Amino acid sequence: MTLRSPVKTRTKLPDVGTTIFTVIGQLSSQHNAINLSQGAPNFACDTRLVQGVTRAMEEGHNQYAPMTGLRALKTRVAEKIADLYGTQYDVDSEVLITASASEGLYSAISGLVHPGDEVIYFEPSFDSYAPIVRLQGATPVAIKLTVPDFTVNWDEVRAAITPRTRMIIINTPHNPSGKVFDANDLQQLAALTRNTDIVVLSDEVYEHVVFDGQPHHGMATHPQLAERSVIISSLGKTYHVTGWRVGYCVAPAEIMDEICKVHQFLMFSADTPMQYAFAEHMNDPQTWLSLSAFYQRKRDLLQTLLAESPFKLLPSQGSFFLLADYSHFSDESDSEIVKRLIVDHGVATIPLSAFYTDGTDNKLIRLSFAKDEATLRAGAAALCQVKSR
């Protein structure tokens, strides 16, 4: 039974309905499928973090944190960025602790993008960018990454820039393809934005998950880009606690002022006990320096286990994900094969078309290896049973 309202609503997001993520989630639970779909880890976080949160609660840190975040945590974040990437952010005016990377994305876009502006972003893309842009009365301008290597065609970006372009959204390492930016990408982006008022919004939630000894080419590694960038990261992703909803955002002070104006009315502040725990935990640089090797072992295990499957795996340079190609053995759409994998084989994945606003079907599915070894083994065994159609 639901209540029936006499009120007529007018949607601001007519294209947002029940997403394929919800459909897959429901089908997966009906079939009790092995979950290789979501980017949420299914293994425990460091017990010291849980103890840290518990201690903070017991010590009475249960009221609002300062609006921009606990100073100790902001200091750790600024020190980490300076050590790793060479840009020094001012702890008081250029670092914001957010209630998740998602909130950081919302506050940044909402604070900086005006009605009538255009925002360039790349597809396939994380699902929140375009709807947040639309909610500002602005226009999202999607540029497709090349397939199958998921690089940016910078000539296309140049052609898409207009006097109304206010922001370019970057995501490296990239969800869903696992592609990472290189030094040339940064140079091209810097050249295209020089002498403009374009802000770069850089979603770097997988900054510590870059494989094969490669560096993370984030915006803080490039002084000229750092001056016009908002960098977003997620402590939920870095520390296997996606449910804790804590992230951060760094940007030059003038840009940060506008982001904070939204953050203070949206959230006011992020959860207090979690911030205490993270501030202590981040005293140990190994907590982020060890992450690439940790996830590389998972990527390698899944790749090895799938060597006997009919899928062709695309290389993953970073993130929690890799893409699998099935075009050589089936004509099914990516949504059809994903449903078949759940119903007939008991394993859940995500069709790449879910990451395109126009539903482009490249006959690729996304697998998440942010899972414990038993899940990776069971999921891979199920995928090895798949027969061609």
Ligand X SMILES: Cc1ncc(COP(=O)(O)O)c(C=O)c1O
Residues that bind ligand X (CB under 6 A): 39, 100-102, 126, 171, 175, 203, 205, 234, 236-237, 242, 247
- Dihedral pair phi/psi, residue 265, rounded to 5°: -95, -20
What's the min distance (Å) between Cβ of 328 and ligand X?
28
What's the min distance (Å) between Cβ of 170 and ligand X?
10
Nearer to ligand X, 199 or 201 (CB): 201
Q: What distance, in Å, lies between the first and last C-alpha atoms of the chain?
A: 42
Nearer to ligand X, 205 or 386 (CB): 205
- Dihedral pair phi/psi, residue 221, rounded to 5°: -85, -5
Structure-token pair, residue 351:
């069709």
Nearer to ligand X, 178 or 247 (CB): 247
The beta strand positions in the chain, using DSSP E, are 34-35, 95-98, 118-123, 139-144, 165-171, 199-203, 229-234, 247-250, 312-313, 321-325, 347-348, 350-351, 364-368
Nearer to ligand X, 259 or 386 (CB): 259
| Location of structure tokens 């005006």 | 114
Structure-token pair, residue 43:
């293994």
What's the min distance (Å) between Cβ of 4 and ligand X?
34
What's the min distance (Å) between Cβ of 206 and ligand X?
7
Q: What is the DSSP letter of 95?
A: E
What's the min distance (Å) between Cβ of 97 and ligand X?
12
Q: Where are the alpha helices (DSSP H) in 43-162?
A: 47-58, 71-85, 101-112, 129-135, 154-160
Nearer to ligand X, 205 or 347 (CB): 205
Nearer to ligand X, 141 or 274 (CB): 274
- Dihedral pair phi/psi, residue 171, rounded to 5°: -140, 105
Contact present, 187 and 157 (Cβ < 8 Å): no
Structure-token pair, residue 214:
């490669």
- How far apart (Å, rounded) are the C-alpha atoms in residues 356 and 282? 36
What's the min distance (Å) between Cβ of 171 and ligand X?
5
| Location of structure tokens 């599915």 | 365
Contact present, 45 and 278 (Cβ < 8 Å): no
Nearer to ligand X, 20 or 205 (CB): 205
| Location of structure tokens 């016009």 | 228
Nearer to ligand X, 102 or 165 (CB): 102
What's the min distance (Å) between Cβ of 174 and ligand X?
7
Q: What is the DSSP letter of 117?
A: -
What's the min distance (Å) between Cβ of 274 and ligand X?
12
